[in-house]
Homo-oligomer: A and B are copies of this chain.
Amino acid sequence: YKELDAVHENVLQLCYTCPMYNLDKWSAAGLISSRPGALASEALRSWFNYGGGADLMNKMMEGYNVMTFPGALSPLPEEVFFHSKKKIESVEDLKSIKARCMGDAGEILKRMGMATVIIPGGELYEAMKRGTIDAFEYSTLASNWDMHFNEVAEYVYLSPVRAPCDPQVFFVNKDAWNELPDDLKLLVKTFIDRFTQAQQEYLVYESIQALEKFKAYGNKVVKVPDEVNKALAAEAAKFYEEKVASEPPIFGEIYNSMKAYGEAYDSMK
């Protein structure tokens, strides 16, 4: 995960990566990533490009010879909440499940009483087969179908709360960018925007196809109960409010900007 250093030092001029890989530099980078209670794709893209998100990210990156492209987001449809062998019908049920869950979501679910462990994606199939875990999150419906996860878990739980989207970003070397003539700048930005949007649309389409495959195989596709969604959202809010108090100011600036934008967006839907 050295892309950012490579772009900063102009070894690379541009990279496409997950902001969360740069938590060692900026604790706030994970806010613009797959995390509980974050903005879903449409809200995230418009926040990033018009609601001040790109400016805040560039502010976070001050001191580096790197900038982020407005528009250079690739939101996915929500990740699968969990592939699970056990039913999830209440917050209480979480406490009886041992699950692979990474990042902030893992920490938040642990606070809610879940036994969470960290396991690489490639080992999930075996871990489920052997009973090391009862459930796990991984990626999108389409990618998870390709991993044959239908064979190791009866239930596919869906929810918009744990990982509303999984944005990637483009990081660009500032000097290299500034040397480009204006017409090429426009072309690069336009193609990047077009690519990110097409990727998101295609992922939506792929997920829809994959959902049908899980059902046809016999998996039970279930929406997470409202009670669990609400409790997870509330615990996530507490978790991040605590971080706002302890992290550098930019963390709070980004968190509060996203939160306000998300509340306004939700009141419109």
Contact = CB atoms under 8 A, between A and B. Distances in A.
Contact of A208 (B41, B49, B265): B265
Contacts of A46: 201-202, 204-205, 208
Contacts of A207: 268
A51 B208 CA distance: 10
Given A49-B198, A190-B190, A194-B193, A204 B265 contact: yes
Contacts of A208: 46, 51, 261, 264-265, 268
Contacts of A246: none
A78 B221 CA distance: 28
Nearest to A206: B50
B211 A42 contact: no
Contacts of A78: 268-269
B268 A77 contact: yes
Interface string A173-207: 00000000000000000110110011011101101
Contacts of A45: 201
A205 B265 CA distance: 9
B268 A211 contact: yes
Contacts of A91: none
Which of A47, A158, A268 gathers the greatest number of chain B CB atoms within 10 Å?
A268
A122 B43 CA distance: 31
A223 to B, nearest CB: 8
Contacts of A77: 268
Interface in A138-158: 141, 158
A194 B70 CA distance: 13
Contacts of A201: 42, 45-46, 49-50
A158 B268 CA distance: 7
A-B pairs with lowest CB-CB distance, top 6: A50-B205, A46-B204, A46-B201, A208-B264, A197-B197, A190-B194
A195 to B, nearest CB: 9
A193 B204 contact: no
27 contacts: A42-B200, A42-B204, A45-B201, A46-B201, A46-B204, A47-B205, A49-B198, A49-B201, A49-B202, A49-B205, A50-B202, A50-B204, A50-B205, A51-B205, A77-B268, A78-B268, A158-B269, A160-B269, A190-B194, A193-B194, A193-B197, A193-B198, A194-B197, A204-B265, A208-B268, A212-B264, A221-B267
